[in-house]
């Protein structure tokens, strides 16, 4: 016995079922069992157990036709459903039983290929998850029906490959609703899971690619105010709120909430916030997570991770000093100018890609030095430093000062390859820094260049494979029409091991926090550490 909804396309006639029997039962807005009205919906019993309730079926009794559509759970009851993981483009006619975990607002678009409206939603069942989208008429038909958190039967849909770069849903395909689609609520839904998160520890978020989609959970340690500003690109008013989440890796990350979510967020009681499908963004070395319209943001979710985190934070996490992956400078590099990074971290953070230069500190080894065309004859006048033109008559012309001099001074401009355990990097260094690295004056180097080649080369060999602490400057500079990211050594320092060991101890402390999975271990180690230092 199957009951289905019929939308009646013609007026005032008795309907016969698909298999030719008179309709034995109807209910709905109109209780007439004999006549149906145009555009009214009726629930109709069918004796055909093989009937596909979601198909667009034409019913004929000679005069009228009706189309099966709309909402009822009865057609699906007792019907075999298939797991979300089995959805693929080659098997049509699957019936799914899954929970809507997210429904986006309706969006309209208007581009060269046309215009329209759409919404999308996420489905979860025991086997996995999938994303679904409804366009135009399907928006009208299904948008109001689908509710977040509820379970539905869905059948007769189109299956297309999923575009992974726009979704965090782990499925190779996605669903598009069609004219034939039927969706019906399922009230027996206890066995269907809710949103599945794949939380990453916050300390590991410094390693993921920028723009990747991540799940994160943390205690909202700090809340910013709502900030309203106008976007220069779209000229629209935007609202944002920055919050800071910390987890038991004792690391924090900033999250930027937008629009209504920003306005309605209440962080006054330091709630747990869980985010599924947030986008990792980066601005000048500071990372933050931005939820999108397809992200799920849950405050104090009823999940085990949240309870564990609450316990950790309330008992001792709140008292620990937190490392942030959203801060431009971290305290580990204190004493060396801050923002201590490996060369790889500097590259990953895309330092120097904004208008202003970015500085960071690292310990690295000199592995190569270019020795050709690195010492030049410069203007002897104070800080001019401009390369002079040898006039060949023992006079040297500086075009900057517009002056001819009988003398010049040597200056160095060298290219050095630095390497630490993470990667290597070619950097430029100017006179003073170059002299420190070579352990020789520009004058000595310059004089030896043509007179004592062996000595000259030795200046460039001596520093090789020595370690230094470097303060590096990253900046994008324009050469002709080309933009290049350049690294310059702003300062070079001998490795002061007393100082450097303190940095390493700081790192060990933060690593301890990262690896201490049971909360009590973390507290124990950190207290132990604090007691000793």
Partner DNA sequence: CCCCCCCC
Q: Which is nearer to DNA, 260 or 477 (CB)?
A: 260
Q: Which is nearer to DNA, 35 or 109 (CB)?
A: 109
At its nearest, how many Å lie between DNA and the CB of residue 179? 9
Site of interaction with DNA (CB under 7 A): 104, 107, 109, 111, 113-114, 116, 118, 120, 133, 135-136, 138, 160, 162-163, 166-167, 174, 176, 178, 227, 229, 231-234, 236, 238, 240, 256, 258-259, 279, 281, 283, 288, 290, 292-294
Q: Which is nearer to DNA, 178 or 270 (CB)?
A: 178
At its nearest, how many Å lie between DNA and the CB of residue 356? 10
CA 131 to chain centre: 18
- Which tokens belong to 404? 């001819």
At its nearest, how many Å lie between DNA and the CB of residue 205? 15
For β-strands 95-103 and 41-46, DSSP reports them as: unpaired
At its nearest, how many Å lie between DNA and the CB of residue 224? 10
At its nearest, how many Å lie between DNA and the CB of residue 259? 5
CA 353 to chain centre: 18
How many CA within 13 A on the CB side of residue 420? 16
**Closest by alpha carbon to 46, among 66, 32, 63, 64?**
66
Angle at CA of residue 358, ends 217 and 365, nearest 5°: 95
Rg of the chain, C-alpha, whole Å: 34
**Closest by alpha carbon to 256, among 269, 275, 271?**
275
Q: Which is nearer to DNA, 114 or 392 (CB)?
A: 114
Q: 122 has which bridge partners?
A: 102, 131
Q: Which is nearer to DNA, 121 or 336 (CB)?
A: 121
Q: Which is nearer to DNA, 104 or 441 (CB)?
A: 104
| Calpha distance 522→249 (Å, rounded) | 9
**Closest by alpha carbon to 405, among 382, 430, 375, 374?**
382
Q: Which is nearer to DNA, 259 or 338 (CB)?
A: 259
At its nearest, how many Å lie between DNA and the CB of residue 174? 6
Helix (H) or strand (E) holding 314: helix 304-315
**Closest by alpha carbon to 142, among 114, 179, 172?**
179
Instruction: Identify the three-state secondary structure at position 191.
Output: coil
At its nearest, how many Å lie between DNA and the CB of residue 230? 8
| Calpha distance 95→84 (Å, rounded) | 9
Q: Classify each residue of 60-97 as buried b or exposed e, where b means 16 or more C-beta atoms within 10 Å of its C-beta.
A: eeeebebbbbbebbbbbeeeebbebeebeeeeeebbbb
At its nearest, how many Å lie between DNA and the CB of residue 300? 22
Q: Which is nearer to DNA, 120 or 409 (CB)?
A: 120
| Calpha distance 150→192 (Å, rounded) | 10
Q: Which is nearer to DNA, 167 or 448 (CB)?
A: 167
**Closest by alpha carbon to 149, among 101, 108, 189?**
101
At its nearest, how many Å lie between DNA and the CB of residue 178? 7
- Which tokens belong to 316? 């001792």
Residues composing the chain: 533
At its nearest, how many Å lie between DNA and the CB of residue 402? 40
Q: Which is nearer to DNA, 110 or 480 (CB)?
A: 110
């Amino acid at each position: 016995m199957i009951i289905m909804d019929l939308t009646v396309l013609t007026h005032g006639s008795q309907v016969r079922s698909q298999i030719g029997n008179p309709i034995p039962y109807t209910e709905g807005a109109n209780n007439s069992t004999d006549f149906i009205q145009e555009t009214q919906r009726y629930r109709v019993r069918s004796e055909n157990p093989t009937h596909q309730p979601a198909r667009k079926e034409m019913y004929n009794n000679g005069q009228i036709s009706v189309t099966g559509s709309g909402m009822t759970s009865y057609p699906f009851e007792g019907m075999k459903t298939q797991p979300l993981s089995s959805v693929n483009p080659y098997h049509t006619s699957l019936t799914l039983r899954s929970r809507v975990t997210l429904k986006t607002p309706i969006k309209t678009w208007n581009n060269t290929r046309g215009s329209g409206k759409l919404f999308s939603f996420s489905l979860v069942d025991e086997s996995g998850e999938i994303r679904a989208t409804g366009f135009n008429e399907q928006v009208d038909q299904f948008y109001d029906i689908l509710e977040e958190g509820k379970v539905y039967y869905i059948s007769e849909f189109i299956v297309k490959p999923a575009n992974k770069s726009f979704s965090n849903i782990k499925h190779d395909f996605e669903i598009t609703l069609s004219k034939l689609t039927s969706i019906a609520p399922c009230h027996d839904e206890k066995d269907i899971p809710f949103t599945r998160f794949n939380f990453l520890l916050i300390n590991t978020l410094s390693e993921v690619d920028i723009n990747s989609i991540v799940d994160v959970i943390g205690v909202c340690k700090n809340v910013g105010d709502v900030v309203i500003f106008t976007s220069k690109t779209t000229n629209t008013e935007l609202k944002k709120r920055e919050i800071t989440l910390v987890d038991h890796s004792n690391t924090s990350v900033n999250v930027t909430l937008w629009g209504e979510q920003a306005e309605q967020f209440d962080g006054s009681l330091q709630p747990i916030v869980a985010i599924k499908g947030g986008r990792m963004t980066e601005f000048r070395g500071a990372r933050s997570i931005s939820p999108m319209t397809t992200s799920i943001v849950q405050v104090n979710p009823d999940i085990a991770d949240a309870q564990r985190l609450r316990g950790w934070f309330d008992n001792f996490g709140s008292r620990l000093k937190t490392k942030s992956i959203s801060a431009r400078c971290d305290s580990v590099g204190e004493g060396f100018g801050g923002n201590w990074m490996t060369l790889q971290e500097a590259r990953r953070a895309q330092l120097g890609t904004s208008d202003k230069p970015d500085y960071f500190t690292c310990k690295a080894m000199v592995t190569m030095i270019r020795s050709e065309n690195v010492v030049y004859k410069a203007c002897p006048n104070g800080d001019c430093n401009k390369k002079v033109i040898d006039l060949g008559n023992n006079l040297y012309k500086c075009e900057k000062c517009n002056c001819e001099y009988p003398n010049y001074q040597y200056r160095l401009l060298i290219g050095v390859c630095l390497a630490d355990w993470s990667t290597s990097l070619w950097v430029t260094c100017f006179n003073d820094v170059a002299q420190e690295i070579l352990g020789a004056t520009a004058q000595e180097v310059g004089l030896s260049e043509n007179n004592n080649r062996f000595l000259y080369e030795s200046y460039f060999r001596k520093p090789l494979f020595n370690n230094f602490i470097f303060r590096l400057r990253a900046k994008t500079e324009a050469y002709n029409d080309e933009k290049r990211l350049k690294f310059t050594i702003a300062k070079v320092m001998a490795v002061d091991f007393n100082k450097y060991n303190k940095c390493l101890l700081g790192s060990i402390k933060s690593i301890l926090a990262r690896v201490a999975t049971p909360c009590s271990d973390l507290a124990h180690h950190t207290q132990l550490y604090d007691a000793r230092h």
